[in-house]
Chain A
Amino acid sequence: MVKGNSFYPQLFLVCLCGMALNSCKPKEKLAPISPGEINLQQFVAIGDGNTAGYMDDALYLYGQQNSLGAILQTQLQLVGAGEIYLPLMGGANIGTNSSFLSRLILGWKTDCLGGIGLSPVRFAQQGEVASLTTSVYSSQNKYSNFGVPGLRMIDMVSTAFGNINLPQHNAFFARMSKDQFTWPVWSGDWSSVQENIFDGGYPTFCSIYLGIEDVLPYARSGATQNPMSPLAGFPGVGFEESLTQLCEQLYSQNVNAVVATIPDITQMPYFSTIPYNGLNLDEANAASLNQIYGPLGFSFTVGSNSFMIEDPTAGAFGVRPMVEGELILLSAPLDSMKCHQYGSVYPLRDEFVLTLAELQEIRNQILAYNQVIRQYSNFYGFAIAETGDFYTKLSDGFVYNGVTMSSKFVSGGAYSLDGIHLNPRGNAMLANVFINAINKKYKATIPFANALSYSSIYFP
């Protein structure tokens, strides 16, 4: 038993202390959030590897969970979007690219000079072959992420894209397609990506980030193969009509959307890491190169010089030094360049270089794509996510909540180790570009993702 006369003063004191400490804590007042004019019940993210979470040159589980599509949907869930369903890869996080190579990690590598340094290395001997040959289709849980690595705008209605009998089919799509690796007798045609998306009902809202793959393979080949999708042509052939048929179908079903424009892919570290004038020469090397190239009219000096490249249009010998603005791809054999005079005595082959003319061609095509993307998105009343602004900002460098972000390879913090696809943190920042567009267009107040809660590159 507690005596009344001692209990009450104690109780009073406890209350007083409680009140004091409570009044010490500022109350949390968050801004109201709302989806605005859109209905997010059935959300689908449509796109290529960026939307799928392809990163570190592979599709793997952790990347998928931290994909543009998944992060965007995580934020949309705050205002009503449903559960995230992803065509998940294996739990061991080995991943695979289309050549059955595992994901890249940062590891130690000895270069030709015997120097040991950090470099992207494969995580495992072999990629997840089994994951690419096992169907993950489920009629119960329709995927909310139709990001397919390698998906071009012109592939959306393609019946060849999931046809496993064709060498050019896409294994990432085939594993998630409702065909389940079997020719659909009833329709007579392999089902397209678009059919799969609309199978069993239209979404209420979708994000569309397509078009990079319509130019990227060309750029990655040094503009030697994989021609860019033409602007004109029927759906499945031309970029414009492939886009409009998709927009029309969405519009006719009252589906709202956020459509992304295409960034200047040549700003990606894959293209921007090796400087055109990174050929550093001492006196002896400069002299010997002058001897070789002097007769052609090219001269070299001690210090920084332009790399030599093959260019069939350059005079009788088809060789010339690079000029400012031209790019060397990360696929270039770095050891040969360091130790075997590749890029100087032996000029860099066309496939490792984008010349000014080639860059012009690629950038013009992106401009043309973007023009129709903006035109039709405006026409159909869709929000437009200007991804190009973000990639340019990244290329210039900026500070995000105290963290410096840039497009520098590895250390920049936003790109994955393949130098093309973003890492989780980069994806979160890109998702915020989409959210910004949705908020503006549809009068929504969807909170942005905290990009710092998503990881960047892991260092050993």
Chain B
Amino acid sequence: MKRIYLGALYLLFFVCNNNGFSQGFQVNFQGQRQQGMGLAGTAAPFDGSSLFFNPGSSVFLNQNSIVGGVTPVFGNVLFVDSATNTSYRSNSPVGTPFSFYAMFQLKPAGKLKWGLSVNTPFGSTVQYEDNWIGRFALTRLELKAIFIQPTFAYRIADQIGIGGGFVISSGNVNLQKDIPVQDTNGVYGHAELAGKAIGFGYNIGIHFTPSKQLSIGLTYRSKVAMNLRDGEATFTVPSSLEDKFPATSFTGRLPLPSVTTLGFSYHPCSAFTVVLDINRVGWKVYDTLAFDYATNTSSLLDTKSPRMYKNIVAFRLGMEVKPIKNLALRIGGGYGLTPVQSGYVTPETPDGIRIYGTFGVGYELSQKIRVDASVYYTKIKRSDTNIETNMSGTYTTIALAPGLSIAYKW
């Protein structure tokens, strides 16, 4: 049995994660139960996913567990250019954000818990159809970040737990666009910027249970500054322009924002739970996307693209009923403001105010094994004229994300 789980874990590490369909490039698929309940659950500890959602709540789970889950994201963007009245689509690959949690207690009902959380809270892969009107702004962007978070939690009183984890984030960036210079066959140049990044942060939380029915959780996941060093920039251009576009290394920085969450869980009877999370995401840290090339020429200057994101709040509401002992049915939804201000909408994150709905189901196969599944759906529409590229039009994004996780506990 263990070998199978290790195998699954091995696979998870090598599945790329990519998705462009949460506020900014935030990806909120870290637990199937929470995904079923509108992505909320900061105050409702469930399984190892608590290590991420609220480390402080994990001590209220009297178990050891291993959970692995994956949520393929089918996302599509349609851009209608307002001037030419023509439309262009994305053909992004299926995103596969995943999560893995291992949580242990040293003795039954012990006050101390430790665990490991590995997941993908940020990422995005978006690719547009060939020759689209925004090809000189972006043809493909791939952002991947895997958060590895060793965590400790401690129950300081019967009703209060605290926890914290250290986050190591390892990521990749690959950005591609066409260059508006043509060779003698009319073929455009192309630029590819690729690099690895690493960043550090932390995740702390407190869980408080004032009564049997009510739980309150407060967490803070710090920002993580992803520093790109020794990225590789390669340019394909007509030979007469090659000296103007030399292959060069570059550096850059991509800040991943902090997330503060206040969560409530109301549990009037054993078969019914309502959860509410209020998120504040510190997107203001993402004000510029800058690339600093080691070699500059008159045609290859360092770039500073304004992003000017702003901090946002999001509300997530969900509930769970258990019609029979082993079965849980979940439903939820959410409303989130967008960090992207007017004038700054880009093809890389054509973000807008978001309303989404989710469903979920969980089934306990045995005392030790449970399976949880969820479906997330959202449609986002955003019209804008970007002040940097003057691209003007309407982006419509639809994302459908069915997810599945398996938990083993003992």
Contacts and interface: CB of A to CB of B under 8 A. Distances in A.
Interface of A: 20-21, 23-31, 33, 106, 108, 118, 398-403, 413, 432, 447-450, 452-453, 455-460
B355 interface: no
B110 interface: no
B80 interface: yes
Contact of A455 (B84, B182, B240): B182
B15 interface: no
B211 interface: no
A402 B86 CA distance: 17
Given A21-B74, A398-B390, A459-B240, A30 B180 contact: no
Interface string B363-392: 000000000000001010000000011110
10 contacts: A26-B76, A29-B80, A30-B80, A30-B87, A118-B240, A398-B390, A402-B389, A403-B180, A450-B83, A459-B181
Given A401-B390, A402-B137, A459-B240, A28 B180 contact: no
Given A21-B74, A401-B391, A459-B240, A447 B84 contact: yes
A195 B321 CA distance: 84
Interface string B236-249: 01111100000000
Nearest to B389: A402
The 4 closest A-B pairs by CB, nearest first: A402-B137, A26-B396, A459-B238, A447-B85
B390 A450 contact: no
A460 B242 CA distance: 11
Interface of B: 74-78, 80-87, 89, 131, 133-137, 177, 180-186, 237-241, 377, 379, 388-391, 396-400, 402
Contact of A28 (B80, B185, B237): B80
Contacts of A449: 84
Contacts of B182: 455-459
Given A24-B76, A455-B186, A31 B398 contact: no
Contact of A413 (B80, B85, B137, B180): B180
A400 B134 CA distance: 10
Contacts of A399: 388-390
Contacts of B89: 25
Contacts of B85: 30-31, 33, 447-448
A460 B398 contact: no
Contacts of A108: 240
A28 B78 contact: yes
B402 to A, nearest CB: 8
Contacts of B237: 459
B87 A28 contact: yes
B84 A450 contact: yes
Contacts of B239: 460
A219 to B, nearest CB: 30
Contact of A459 (B74, B134, B184): B184
Given A401-B134, A401-B136, A459-B184, A25 B76 contact: yes
Contact of B389 (A24, A118, A401, A448): A401
B183 A459 contact: yes
Contact of B180 (A27, A106, A456): A456
A23 B357 CA distance: 14
Given A402-B136, A447-B86, A452-B180, 16 more contacts: A24-B76, A24-B398, A24-B399, A26-B396, A29-B80, A30-B85, A400-B390, A401-B134, A402-B135, A402-B137, A402-B389, A402-B391, A448-B84, A449-B84, A458-B183, A460-B238
Contacts of B398: 23-26
A24 B177 CA distance: 25
Contacts of B87: 28, 30
Contacts of B402: 20
Nearest to B400: A24
A26 B181 contact: no
A458 B75 CA distance: 37
Contacts of A403: 136, 180
B140 to A, nearest CB: 14
Contacts of B77: 26
A24 B181 CA distance: 35
A449 B389 CA distance: 17
B385 to A, nearest CB: 11
B78 A26 contact: yes
A413 B136 CA distance: 14
B239 to A, nearest CB: 7
Nearest to A31: B85
A24 B74 CA distance: 7
Contacts of A118: 240
B400 A20 contact: yes
Contacts of B75: 24
B80 A401 contact: no
A20 B94 CA distance: 13
